[in-house]
Amino acid sequence: MTSAMDTRTPEPQAIGNPITRSAIFMVLTLAPGSDAASQVRGWCGDIAALTRSVGKRVPDGNLSCICGFGSSAWDALFGNPRPAALHPFREFGVAGRQAISTPGDILLHIRAEQMDLCFELATQLMAALGDAVVVVDEVQGFRYFDMRSIIGFVDGTENPVGRKIGDFTLVGDEDQAFAAGSYVLVQKYLHKMDAWNALTVEAQERVIGRTKLADIELDDAVKPSCSHSSLTTITKDGKEVKILRDNMPFGKPGAGEFGTYFIGYARSPEPIELMLENMFVGKPVGNYDRLLDFSTAVTGGLFFVPSADLLEELADREPEQASVTP
Ligand code: HEM
């Protein structure tokens, strides 16, 4: 956690924790019925203690768990008040090149230096949830050489650091009841590695907008406006707006599966959605991200991550305050 985060109250979840070697991403849907909802509410108060219990066993393991809730799940579980900018995942793009929305009520982003810690915490969290949820997606991610994505380029370089992490990812005065919360968008991508590997390194570099070996940004004179870097660099009122990414490679070589689990945190969904629009629709329209010629998004979800303090409080929220949106 950065010092800037420490000065904030309430305490955020572990969004600013350093990038780890291993991660598990789980997307769950709520089982129907009020029993399931009350089970999940109670479980919100157990997450921190379970994370402490498992994490204590490997002091250098950096175990953390971040928990977020989708828009309709928020209404069903906690009712009002609700986070101001929380809404269902917005789809972008055209058939064949689309950021699709897939079911998801709860997101778990479990990180540690070693997979056994992630695995054990996921096991404990799922045991505590019992049949109150259905697991709709589960991905084990690993760190790949030199922090590279599975397509061979270093990933995460332009992430904010230090105080900027909190500035770019944590809700502030704009929504005081949800201060120190965050919005997180996830997408599971599968890559066409044969086609990608058939490109020359120079052609790949023009797709990403950076050099492959040294990870240096291409000069503006040679960097295409459709490069991934160009389309995901955004500004508001003349200032660059960043998001915090902790993407992880995953896959099954024997099955020909090569993937990137994209995860981006921001203090509002807006910048992440603008990046998606630029990538999938193009800027201007049609000038889309050529990385998408080699990558298909097979899932998509938007979640709100309450502060750690609010997460504990939600466990005690009176069920009658919760309401299902029609
Ligand atoms: C297909 C999956 C993706 C892969 C393999 C990928 C990979 C990369 C790589 C290699 C870089 C350059 C190094 C860096 O600064 O991290 C990068 C930059 C970046 N990516 Fe992605 N990315 C993917 C999807 C996305 C998505 C969906 C978004 C946003 C919605 C996004 C946002 C960004 C941003 C903001 C940067 C930094 C741009 C800059 O400031 O230069 N990426 N990505």
In contact, 155 and 78? CB cutoff 8 Å:
no
Quick one: pLDDT band at residue 119, thresholds 50, 70, 90?
very high
**Rounded mean pLDDT, 101-115:** 98
Of 3-12, 89-98, 187-196, 201-210, the poorest mean pLDDT is in 3-12
Active-site residue set:
155
DSSP string, 133-177: EEEEEEEEEE-BGGGB-TTSSB-STT---THHHHHHHS--GGGGG
**Rounded mean pLDDT, 176-182:** 97
Quick one: pLDDT band at residue 34, thresholds 50, 70, 90?
confident
Average pLDDT of the chain?
A: 95
Ligand 1 in contact with 158 (CB < 6 A)?
yes
Quick one: pLDDT band at residue 322, thresholds 50, 70, 90?
low
What is the amino acid identity at position 248?
M
Ligand 1 in contact with 299 (CB < 6 A)?
no
50 C-alpha to ligand 1 centroid (Å): 32
Give the model's pLDDT for residue 122.
98
Ligand 1 in contact with 233 (CB < 6 A)?
yes
**Rounded mean pLDDT, 115-131:** 98
- Answer with the residue of higher pLDDT: 19 or 183: 183
**Rounded mean pLDDT, 247-262:** 98
Nearest CA to ligand 1 atom 20: 232
pLDDT in tens, 142-172: 999 999 999 999 999 999 999 999 999 999 9
Instruction: Of 145, 186, 166, 167, give the one whose Cα is nearest residue 304.
Output: 186
Share of the chain above pLDDT 70, in %: 95
- Indicate the Cα dihedral angle 231, 233, 236, 239, nearest 10°: -150
> Is the pLDDT assigned to residue 70 strictly greater than 90?
yes
In contact, 247 and 156? CB cutoff 8 Å:
yes
| Runs of H (alpha helix) within the chain | 3-6, 34-44, 47-56, 71-78, 115-129, 163-169, 193-198, 201-208, 228-232, 269-280, 308-314
Give the model's pLDDT for residue 318.
75
